[in-house]
Structure 1
């Protein structure tokens, strides 16, 4: 049977969580035909063996292995290219799904003819073997956005709790492969091609503490955030001046936070750009930010995609 939904799940060293995540995936309600595409990013623990065990037991599970660690941006794109479903369900596979997460997401997408649906997560101090995702009730809040880019440029939407149409993902080029982490680039790039975004407060996943995450490296996140918005600004000169100013502000905000985290960025020019951006008195020319690109690319303790030969 042709899957309606493809779960696309990059994996790197998730052996402590995979069995619990997969159990919550198998418990999904709604009789929805789906496939699962795991993309292993050269895990150094037992993750790949666990994934191959899943694949051997379930014919709807596929495992893509690799020989070079490339990061979640590239691996998510790799999985999406291989997927067969109309929709892509995009989650972190060290979390626990609500039992009706997929059913609710798909129902909303069809009801509102939406190509992007986003939900929430909730952190828990419970050990992962004790965590159960509570069933999503019907009293959740929902906002409908016919200008997805405007919504994405507002309050952040960086959690991997998405259902998106695969055609939109492919048309957008997926994640920005020049940056290691996909959190910022995925919604931004998708929103430029989507016609309707649904933002909900449904708690789709529970997030136990199962070890270190890339997100703990704030300098990496601000490095990636800056490059994502600068690349997008460069690639979309057709956008309105107002939208380009918002993108410029995102770049400057990432620079400011990176300086706070130790990046060697001169204060006075940055302060001038920050104030000018806040007041709207700025020409959002991406060439004015190129010197910061050079600073970011020379930071240590940062994963740069140029280091990866995929």
Structure 2
């Protein structure tokens, strides 16, 4: 349910809505809010926090910090459904044309949102992302403010090709229009992590721009952080490529082949990393074939590659890998 911002601060629509998802982040919230207070930028803003069923003191801590934010706090509390559902709900509640996504333990860097917005304006696109740095919990602001070099436009499929190859950042690097978020489908709530598929969907929708400087910093250690759940996260990275091809049947053949080869390469290397060497690696021959050729319909081979990540060798996801919204049968695969 939306929470308690003064009516006077909501009379004028903000220029940028920050959408922050949190689950049991009470220890990080003072750092997060302090980073927002230090960020600067000549624009009006609001902070839409989505608490994803926290069992700690996150909500109380956040309310106690509200006065430190440089814009009104709007709080949505939901039953635990996962970061993807929380992100969708936050964006749907946002009032601004532009949305900046932030994870509850990441710290925005000074000037970053203004720089992302300017990069979007000069490139004439609806989507910008930057790089990520790191911070230590006991010295969160030790790093100097970043220098921002010239942004790099990514046009004609270049952004999609880059992210098919690898997803080097998370959603805290993103500034996009709320309209693009809805058009591309937003987050798939059957996935625990919102990041990879959201980047793929955004770049499948059109051009973007990259700001090659840290626009947020992630903690060097954060218990339970999604990117640390390796087997599930690697499974989802291949599943995201599968969903991309399912949603984009008219994708250029070169990009479809790249996605196919990346899925099989990733699965072969994962199986090898965890002890399946040589001929014992079940992905050896599919991977070798992918280096030589690509089937007209790559999806069946990509789906079979999911078996490399599960304990029992099945392609179906274990129930334990499903977020709360999917377990309850209320997950949306896309919005808009």
Shared fold, TM over 0.5:
yes
Q: 5+ unaligned residues in a row in structure 2: which ranges?
A: 1-11, 308-313, 331-336
Give the number of aligned pairs.
Answer: 306
Report the alpha carbon displacement of residue 151 of structure 1 after superposing the two structures with TM: 3.1
Partner of 2:64, secondary structure, is helix
- 1:211-257 Cα shifts (integer Å, max 9, x gaps): 31121111011121121111111221111221111121232234335
Distance 1:228 1:263 in 2: 25
CA gap 1:261/1:233 in 2 versus in 1, 3 angstroms: same
After superposition, residues 152-191 of structure 1 pair within 5 angstroms as 152-160=163-171, 161-191=173-203
Report the alpha carbon displacement of residue 80 of structure 1 after superposing the two structures with TM: 0.8
2:252 pairs with 1:240: yes
Contact 1:219 1:302 in 2 (8 A): no
Contact 1:245 1:280 in 2 (8 A): no
Partner of 1:63, secondary structure, is strand
2:291 pairs with 1:278: yes
2:53 pairs with 1:42: yes
- 1:267-304 Cα shifts (integer Å, max 9, x gaps): 56522221222334433431344445572424475335
Give the TM-score normalised by the residue count of structure 2.
Answer: 0.81
Further displaced range: 253-262 or 162-171: 253-262
CA gap 1:210/1:47 in 2 versus in 1, 3 angstroms: farther
Q: 1:115 pairs with 126, 142, 159, which one?
A: 126
Partner of 1:94, secondary structure, is coil
Alpha-carbon RMSD: 2.7
Q: 5+ unaligned residues in a row in structure 1: which ranges?
A: none
Cross-structure match for 2:153? 144
Report the alpha carbon displacement of residue 210 of structure 1 after superposing the two structures with TM: 5.0
Partner of 2:205, secondary structure, is coil
Report the alpha carbon displacement of residue 36 of structure 1 after superposing the two structures with TM: 0.8
After superposition, residues 1-310 of structure 1 pair within 5 angstroms as 1-55=12-66, 60-67=72-79, 69-125=80-136, 127-128=138-139, 130-132=140-142, 134-138=144-148, 140-147=149-156, 148-160=159-171, 161-194=173-206, 196-212=207-223, 213-260=225-272, 270-292=283-305, 295-299=314-318, 302-303=321-322, 306-310=326-330
CA gap 1:306/1:95 in 2 versus in 1, 3 angstroms: closer
Distance 2:267 2:101 in 1: 28
Report the alpha carbon displacement of residue 45 of structure 1 after superposing the two structures with TM: 1.0
CA gap 1:285/1:87 in 2 versus in 1, 3 angstroms: same
